[in-house]
Amino acid sequence: PNPNRPLREDLVLQASLEAYGGVRREGRLSDRALEFVLRRKTLLYSTERRAVAERVYALLRRQRTVDYLLEHSHRNFETLDGTRQDVMRLATSRILHGEDPNYVSRTCGLSGQDLTVLDRLPDAAAELDALPEAKRFPIAASLPDFLAEKFRAVFGKDASRAAEAMNERAPLFARVNALKGDRAQLQDRLAAEDVESTKPTALSPFGIVMETRLNIFSLQNFKDGWLEIQDEGSQLLGMLVDAPPTRVVDACAGAGGKTLQLAAQMKNRGDLHALDVDEGRMEDLRKRARRAGVHNVRTQIIPPEGPEAEAALAPLKGLADRVLVDAPCSGTGTFRRKPDARYRLTPESLAEHVARQKALLARFATLVKPGGRLIYGTCSVLREENEEVVEDFLSQHPEFTVRPVAEVLGAELGAKVSSGPFLRLAPHTHGTDGFFGAVLVRAK
């Protein structure tokens, strides 16, 4: 297809409205809503599909800002019917993201009186800028009030920069499968497949940054197991495990991005136990392991809680050199990729995450052998889910002490990615998703 062919804006708008409606009105997850709509729109060119995805994500990232601007540009915005509101939202978001206002007003599907709303946006933006900081920040950052407060607590004077970076499009990171070769070899192999524009990640020695418009899954190198899609921050968290080729447990393995990284650290030797509560994700992991040529992984479905969960873990009690607990969390570090997650999070659901994190850490700590290590990680930037969970655990488990991550990653890399003894990554400081990591050593 010709990439310079003009977009058929009416088709793009229709698909964008359907996908956006799926997220905001039917409560679907953004990636699922897009997949559902785009699968049925077989006539769209690839450039148009991309435009739909980009516009829907862009609007979700800036939802609060866009709604503020429209409520201040249109006297009775709240009373309009849903579709008309959404057409205005999509147009406003495009202008907010730097598209030419004249082009937007010609192609946005608004007409007559509705179009004049776009002319009033600059004045509404000036009103937003004039608000006192405590009022302005949550709207400009497009965060629910309670999260905006937490961002300010965690990032202090950098809160605006942190939120801005969370509202940008994430790069596409891949990790070389070290069982096959190294990063330079992967780049050569990709170049042979006409994928020229890859560059090494700044922090992870195993990562490359790829062109986001690429369909990685169609690459021969992907099918041959040479690379996995994995955020650079996640790669650094995996490196904290520093897994020896003995007995290692990935306690919340999910679809297994980090499991495969650990298998490569272990050079496919020893026993790597991948545990999860979800059969579907485990099936994904098995497929990915086969593709990657990984054969030291043993998958195990475990019950989520109660005596059955304890019984399932009994055979591993006190036997593991490393246990990784990459805990389910608020996902506040991944807003670039899952922009709608911020509107689903509530103070209550955050409290549930924290309670679950504390329970998981205590449960899986029992698998660590004397002298072994427990690695705790989240893709959250909030202190409650990170430092505070670790402090709570240590207060009840005096046999564990913190090992500074710089001692595991080496002084040079450690200095770049740690805050005190912990791994602390965020988009505005490292260009990665937001991650936290702690290494806890059990006394001999």
| pLDDT, tens digit (0-9, with 9 covering 90-100), for 311-360 | 999 999 999 999 999 999 999 999 999 999 999 999 999 999 999 999 99
276 is in an annotated binding site: yes
Please report the pLDDT score of residue 8 as a whole number. 94
Catalytic amino acids? 379
Which is the CATH superfamily of the domain at 172-229? Answer: Sun protein; domain 3 (3.30.70.1170)
- The per-residue pLDDT for range 421-433, each reduced to its tens digit, is 999 999 999 999 9
**What would the mean pLDDT of 159-186 be, rounded to a whole number?**
96
Among all chains, which residue has been given the structure tokens 């990665």? 432
**How far is Cα 208 from Cα 73, in angstroms, rounded to an integer?**
44
Question: Would you put residue 427 in left (φ > 0), alpha (ψ -120 to 50) or beta?
Answer: alpha
**Domain ranges, ordered by start, for the chain:** 9-130, 172-229, 232-442
Q: How many CB atoms lie within 10 A of CB 174?
A: 28
pLDDT at position 3 is 65
* Whether the predicted pLDDT of 1 surpasses 70: no
Evaluate whether 244 touches 223 at the Cβ level (below 8 Å): no
For position 304, what pLDDT does the model report?
Answer: 87
pLDDT at 5: 86
Q: Read off φ and ψ for residue 294, nearest 5 degrees.
A: -95, 125
Which overall architecture, per CATH, does domain 9-130 show?
Orthogonal Bundle (1.10)
Which value, in Å, is the radius of gyration of the alpha carbons in the chain?
23
Amino acid letter at 107? Answer: T
3-state class percentages of the chain: helix first, strand second, coil last, to nearest 5: 55, 15, 30
Percent of the chain clearing pLDDT 90 (strictly above): 93
The CATH number of the domain covering residues in 232-442: 3.40.50.150
Q: Is the pLDDT of residue 42 over 70?
A: yes
Of 43-47, 268-272, 378-382, the one with minimum mean pLDDT is 43-47
Distances (CA, A) of 293 to 260, 391, 395: 9, 39, 41
Q: Name the one residue in this structure whose structure tokens are 């009022």.
A: 135
Furthest-apart CA pair in the chain: how many Å?
76
Rounded to two decimals, what is the model's pTM? Answer: 0.93
